[in-house]
Chains A and B, each alone.
Chain A
Amino acid sequence: MTIAAPPPAVMQRSHGAGLIAVKSVTNRTRLDRLHQSGNAKIRIPETRTECLEAVLINTAGGITGGDTLNWTVECGMNTATVVTTQACERIYKSLGENGRQTTAITVDEGASLFWLPQETILFQGGRLQRTLEVSLADDARFLGLEAVLLGREAMGETLDDAFLHDRWRIRRAGNLLHADDLRLDLRSNNTLHDPSILAANRAFATLVWVGPEEDGEVRALRLGRVRALLAGSAGASAVGPKLLIRMAAPSGYALRRQLMPVLEHLLDGRGLPKVWRT
């Protein structure tokens, strides 16, 4: 009797690149250019506001070792754009190589960009190297979110082999305004439970808001309002023209509950994208 050999493990690498450029036409933000290749797709749902909403889609359904995913967002003068993702980005087991994701954003004079991707879920064995490069004009506005869930909480999965390096660099008029390197390497040792790292939390998020130069009183007021909306393990601080917010929560559900009021407040009446409301 012969037993059919299992098919050889062919690791299909997925690659995707998407670009969206927007411009202002009679006070409404309209699509200027759109390019999509590989497994990167961009949808523009109809909205009734002057703000354009773009939904990024990775048709590969996740990122594993050797995959690449590159997004480019170009916001023309006086535009307002909210960018989100159709689904959580799932980082699946890799055979050793990192998956790579890059995002390059430019925001011109008078424009606003709200970069609100859904959560990244890091599974056992997942490895992701990600960069976000943001270039802002002097009076541009930017809100950026990074939210991470560790493992399948419903299955009580405990990660002991995963890697995430998320590098953010935000420049304004060429000057480096914000730099953050989140590096979580669960192979070298697993100290997630440490009360300085995550304690019992398995979800966390960072928000960065940058606005034009304004007087200290306006900044203090904004910081106070955001602090009043914080719940659970969370903190906010204003350093020069940027406002930083960090949160940690026991689950993805709890993290969303902590995030939503703050996102709604910082969107300043623009309304959360539909994917965030369901």
Chain B
Amino acid sequence: MSSTTDLLRLMSWLSPVFPTGGYAYSGGLEQMVHGGAIHDAQSLKGRIAALLKDGPPWNDAVLFAAAFRSSADGETIEELSELARAMAGSLERHREALDQGAAFLAAAANWFEAGALPASPTPLCVAVGAACGLQSMPAEEALAAFLHAWVSNQLQAAIRLSVVGQSGAARLLSELEPAIAETAARAKASTPGDLGSCTILADIAAMNHETLEPRLFLS
């Protein structure tokens, strides 16, 4: 398959137009904005970089890489799904991962023969990792696209929460490029033994979002 086809598929599957419903989730950002910890472009950049390196997105990238490598092995994919579900640190994060995973698999079915993709409940990171692996895409590029989609989604949420404007978000996209690329490269070489996070206050914020009223986001 040509690299142009790979690029187009990654862009389609991880596009805001793809019906995974990512726009509805903030991954705890809304709570941290509400609490004042995130209040400008600089603090937003710090959060995104910390989560990429040491937070749930890092774990998602490790599980993505493992699912990518084992995409044809249904039993391993089921084990990775179970692990990803068990790692969800709050109810909203659990829903965010599973609802987006189910929506992704339904829409991605347009590219696959029936039964080729994992069945639900498969969390998003394992679902996208398996789909990219089944298409034999380049692993590091697929990981970078997956992480980039998460960063874009955080920035989109930050715009709606009035933390940054459109041009501020564009500057952060540029500044965060090295962090995305480094995380993708690190994740490509990872195994599930490299799982690990320490974003304790972000985890607490994700829990406390459950009782935030009023709210714009589902997480």
Q: Which residues of B (35-56) have their CB < 8 Å from a CB of A?
A: 37-38, 43, 46-47, 50-51, 53-55
Q: Is B1 an interface residue (CB 8 A)?
A: no
Question: Are the C-beta atoms of B82 and A176 separated by less than 8 Å?
Answer: yes
Does more than half of chain A's interface fall in helix, strand or loop, or is it mixed?
strand
Q: Roughly how many angstroms separate A194 CA and B90 CA in the complex, as a whole number?
A: 21
Q: Is B89 an interface residue (CB 8 A)?
A: yes
Q: Is B202 an interface residue (CB 8 A)?
A: yes
- Given known pairs A195-B38, A235-B204, A239-B94, the reply for A184 and B198 (CB within 8 Å) is yes
User: Residues of A contacting B204 with CB < 8 Å?
Assistant: 233-235, 246-248
A195 closest partner in B (C-beta): B37
Q: Give the interface residue-count category, chain B.
A: 35 or more
B58 closest partner in A (C-beta): A183
Q: Which residues of B (187-209) have their CB < 8 Å from a CB of A?
A: 195-208
Question: Are the C-beta atoms of A196 and B46 separated by less than 8 Å?
Answer: yes
Q: Is A165 an interface residue (CB 8 A)?
A: yes
User: Residues of A contacting B46 with CB < 8 Å?
Assistant: 194-196
Q: Is A175 an interface residue (CB 8 A)?
A: yes
Q: Is B149 an interface residue (CB 8 A)?
A: no
Q: Roughly how many angstroms separate A246 CA and B199 CA in the complex, as a whole number?
A: 11
Q: Roughly how many angstroms separate A178 CA and B89 CA in the complex, as a whole number?
A: 9
Q: A residues touching B (Cβ–Cβ < 8 Å)?
A: 165, 167, 169-170, 175-184, 191, 194-199, 201, 204, 227, 233-239, 244, 246-248
A-B contact list, 15 entries, CB within 8 Å? A165-B196, A176-B83, A177-B86, A181-B59, A181-B196, A191-B50, A196-B32, A196-B37, A196-B50, A196-B202, A197-B199, A199-B37, A199-B201, A237-B210, A244-B90
